[in-house]
Structure 1
């Protein structure tokens, strides 16, 4: 899976097949290796984040920090999504 960021032990990445039709822009987060049951975080058109699920069971304090880091890097993440998938849809 294409890793976008690494923050400590956490990988932030896109899943290689994001659906057909393409899902709204989001990243997956897991500790260590990529997982099909990873935490999913949506990215809005303004660069804010919305937690879809916390399947990785990341502690809340750490999850909030990770979400702030994703927001701080949202323009780069959005650019990478566009380069990889060729189109962008937003959750809201």
Structure 2
């Protein structure tokens, strides 16, 4: 489960065994979790995050989308 980015209290990562799914990133803060699709950036699921926090996280995902896709594609090509 490689960590791609740490931004404030958030850790952005993906699971190496999820390559069969479309590109996405997981986000964690303590016991709060979310998953965002990357093409386009859309919330896939969330546990415990408030909607205002999810909007802020989505902006971070949008800002780092190209980097997330690059790392995803590097791992998917292994």
TM-score w.r.t. structure 1 length?
Answer: 0.74
Residue 12 of structure 1 corresponds to: 12
Aligned length in residues:
78
Residue 2 of structure 1 corresponds to: 2
Unmatched 5+ stretches in structure 2 = none
SS at match of 2:36: strand
Calculate the aligned-residue CA RMSD, in Å: 2.1
Relative contact order, higher structure (CA 8 A, sep 6+): 1
SS at match of 1:24: coil
Give deviations 1:36-86, integer Å, cap 9, x for gaps: xx3111011xxx41111112x112111111111111111111110011112
* Structure (1 or 2) with the greater helix fraction: 2
Residue 75 (str. 1) matches residue 66 (str. 2): yes
* Structure (1 or 2) with the greater strand fraction: 2
Unmatched 5+ stretches in structure 1 = 88-92
> Which consecutive aligned stretches of 4+ in structure 1 deviate over 3 angstroms post-superposition?
none
TM-score w.r.t. structure 2 length?
Answer: 0.85
* C-alpha distance in structure 2 between counterparts of 1:32 and 1:7, whole Å: 13
